[in-house]
Amino acid sequence: MPSYLRSQSVPLSATIFTDITHWSATNPQLLDALYQSPYAVQSVFRSLPPLARLYVTRLLYLPENESTPTLEAFRKSLRRRQRALDRHDAAIRALRELRVFTTSPSGLNASLHDPSKIVLHPTFARELRRSVSNSIPSVFGGGSGSSDPKDLDSFAADRLESILNFLVESTNHNSIPSGIIDALVHIGVLEQRREGLTITSAGFHFLLKDTSAQLWILLRSVLSSMFPADVEALTLVFQLGVSTAGRFYDISNLSATQQELIRELHHLGIVILNKNTFQVTVVGVRLLANATRSSAGPSDGMTLTKSAGEIQVFVETNFRVYAYTTSVFQINLLALFTHMRYRLPSMVVGHLTRDAVRKALMNGITADQIIGYLNAHAHPRMKKGTIPANVSDEIRLWEAEQDRVQTKPGVLLSDFSHGFESVLSYARDLNAVLWSAPEREMLVVSKNTFDQVKRFIRDSGIQ
């Protein structure tokens, strides 16, 4: 049986830093080893909340003979407003999860507001000071030469488009490597059914994200599925964020694990692998510029941005669809829920039929996602910039037909002290939410996913 048939779904809202926190809970030595790299330290520092970064800088150059501040002293320096205190608690929590903050030996098991004195992780502090003083070695030995950035961009775009096209077709397994298929199934974008690999509701949500978020999610899933808790692999990723786009770096400077990861990153368009050298694309260099960009989107689960290729859509009241595009990906994406009739050089004509929409709904795509996609790409001359009301209402009615007599066992979660939004986002990424009331901080998750949600709550320290 192929390995992708045995993979388990993981949430799209997770990031590499979420994984590092999870791995370090069972492997405390992971962060000690990771902080040996100044590039990893820089990336972790950038991923921290703004207030957490402020706390780190306040301690970074504190003289050894000066009294170490306490957590309570940090709280007292804030304005007495609940929002400021909540940000303080979130900052301290992030610092402790990544072990950037440590307490004195007597306070290692201290609670969040324990007044024990705190210090920075010694290795983290040392490497961060080296980074600030610009006394770290050149990444990958400095490299030599360079290539045209336009060629790099073209390569990266082609690689990503091939993956996106595979997602909407899900037929030709030879079009992308098996490792990438593993990663797509691992994050729940694809799932195996009797008829073969099929895109899920989470997969459609993934396609609507911007390209930076898509690449970050793919990179993170490759790491978690193929290189879990591997310090060498994580260090390589952080080094890519400070490398020079187009520069030729000698691959012999990398370990065997890192060379294997470079081959996977080549398939993602993050690097270009040559015979004895590799180049980082512009996309690869910028990938870590905003480390948490791919984490949970808006609370309604919709991120209405163009993924790849331009498309402008006219939807008529008779359900006829006219799409102006030359992008193969956008045409294939539209065909997931539209019966395609004609294809012209710069336009395709389709029809929103009950059978086509119901097929998409059965694959997990929701009516709101279909309507959101059509509205996001509506032609500027469309009245009010949205599809006709009778079309959107009919799509929702077709969806409601599937829910008339369905019952599903579930588990009610309530009485959250904090972190409700994180749990709700995680459950939505698992397609586990049966009902939610954010204003009352209550939700019902499906019974078969309750253990995963419960584990997330426990690992995150929410309850």
- pLDDT on residue 339: 93
Mean pLDDT along residues 171-197: 76
Yes or no: is domain 410-460 CATH 1.10.10.10?
no
| pLDDT tens profile 381-393 | 887 778 899 999 9
The structure tokens 């009301």 sit at: 389
pLDDT in tens, 207-216: 877 777 788 8
Which pLDDT belongs to residue 327? Answer: 84
Specify the range with the lowest mean pLDDT, choosing from 207-216, 366-375, 431-440. Answer: 207-216
Rounded to the nearest integer, the mean pLDDT of the chain is 79
Please report the beta strands in 43-171, taking only residues with DSSP state E, as ranges in sequence order. 101-103, 118-120
Predicted confidence at residue 103, as pLDDT, reads 61
- SS3 category, 277: strand
Both ends of the chain: CA-CA distance in Å?
A: 39
Residue 419 has pLDDT above 70, yes or no: yes
For the chain, give every domain's residue range. 3-12+142-286, 16-140, 312-403, 410-460
* Residue from 216, 215, 208, 211 nearest 366 by CA: 208
What are the tens digits of pLDDT across the range 113-132?
Answer: 444 567 888 899 999 999 88
Mean pLDDT computed over 23-30: 85
Q: Which two tokens stand for residue 81?
A: 């407003």
Provide the pLDDT confidence category of residue 175 given band limits of 50, 70 and 90: low
Rounded distance between C-alpha atoms, residue 150 and residue 121, angstroms:
42
Per the model's pLDDT, the better-predicted residue between 143 and 207 turns out to be 207
Q: What digits encode the pLDDT tens for the residues 212-255?
A: 778 888 888 888 888 888 899 988 888 888 888 888 998 988 89
pLDDT band at 351 (very low <50, low <70, confident <90, very high): very high
At position 152, the amino acid (one-letter code) is L
* Residues 219, 217: Cα–Cα separation, whole Å: 6
What pLDDT is recorded for position 303?
Answer: 37
| Lowest-pLDDT choice from 169-183, 423-437, 441-455 | 169-183
Which contacts of 17-20 are long-range, i.e. CB under 8 A and separated by 24 or more positions?
17/44, 17/47, 17/98, 17/291, 17/292, 18/295, 19/220, 19/223, 19/224, 19/228, 20/44, 20/98, 20/234
pLDDT tens digit sequence for 280-334: 888 777 776 554 444 433 333 333 334 456 889 999 999 999 999 988 888 888 9
Listed range (144-153, 259-268, 451-460) with the worst mean pLDDT: 144-153
Phi/psi at 74 (nearest 5 deg)?
-65, -40
Look at residue 104 and tell me whether its pLDDT is greater than 60.
no
In the chain, what percentage of residues exceed pLDDT 70? 82
pLDDT at 38 over 70: yes
User: Tokens 């397609």 identify what position?
Assistant: 431
User: How far is the CA of 228 from the CAs of 30, 176, 206, 255, in angstroms?
Assistant: 11, 22, 22, 16
- Quick one: average pLDDT of 423-437? 86
Query: Are 180 and 218 within 8 A, CB to CB?
Result: yes
Q: With left for phi above 0 and alpha for psi between -120 and 50, is residue 435 left, alpha or beta?
A: beta
Alpha helices in 198-342 (DSSP H): 201-207, 211-226, 231-240, 256-268, 282-286, 328-334
Read off the pLDDT of each residue in 176-181 and give the average, rounded to a whole number. 82
Question: What are the Cα distances from residue 459, in Å, to 26, 45, 221, 255, 423?
Answer: 11, 22, 19, 32, 11
Reported as a single tens digit per residue, the pLDDT across 338-350 is: 999 999 989 999 9
pLDDT of residue 127: 92
Rounded CA-CA distance 462/457 in Å is 5
The first and second tokens of residue 231, run together, are 């310090």
pLDDT given for residue 395 in this prediction: 93
pLDDT band at 110 (very low <50, low <70, confident <90, very high): very low
pLDDT exceeds 90 at position 83:
no
Distance (Å, rounded) from C-alpha 18 to C-alpha 98?
9
Does the pLDDT at position 170 exceed 60? Answer: no
Burial class (CB in 10 A: 0-12, 13-18, 19+), 262: buried
> What's the number of CA atoms in the CB half-sphere (13 Å) around residue 10?
22
